[in-house]
Amino acid sequence: MSEIFILKVEDGASYNDDVYDYWITCELKNNQKIMLFDYKRIGLNEFLNKWVDAQIQALFVQLNKNKDLLSLEGKITFKNDKYFFSNEAISIEVSNEDVESQELKLNTQSVFYFGRLDIVGFNQVKC
């Protein structure tokens, strides 16, 4: 889980006034702003300007530099049969396939490039 501060919630795809997903602009504890995709429509509108603990998954991760992707420095770790990218401000679940097919080294500091980041769950942070 990662503590994020919800700055903005924007409608994503919609049809006939039905919204199918959202884009969440948020800030990490290190003041870095990131965008999260909410395809589950978990309902973060009521948490604008509040901190939440978010469960985040990466659509994909790679080591190859790409200026169009979000870059973050940190390490890939393995815990409870899952791979995670983590640094001091964020933890992101990454796919086994990405880690294993690219032979990403565990517990080695590096810059990683991320495709879309999805928020898949959250808990309100107690103040």
Give per-residue pLDDT as tens, 55-109.
999 999 999 999 999 999 999 999 999 999 999 999 999 999 999 999 999 999 9
Reported confidence tier of residue 127, pLDDT bands at 50, 70, 90:
low
Q: What single DSSP character describes residue 125?
A: P
Query: What mean pLDDT, rounded, does the chain reach?
Result: 92
User: Any idea where the domains of the chain sit in the sequence?
Assistant: 2-124
How far apart are alpha carbons 14 and 83 in whole angstroms?
Answer: 33
Inform me whether the pLDDT recorded for 49 exceeds 70.
yes
CA atoms within 13 A on the CB side of 100: 7
- Residue 116: both structure tokens together: 């879309």
Inform me whether the pLDDT recorded for 7 exceeds 70.
yes
How far apart are alpha carbons 36 and 120 in whole angstroms?
Answer: 10
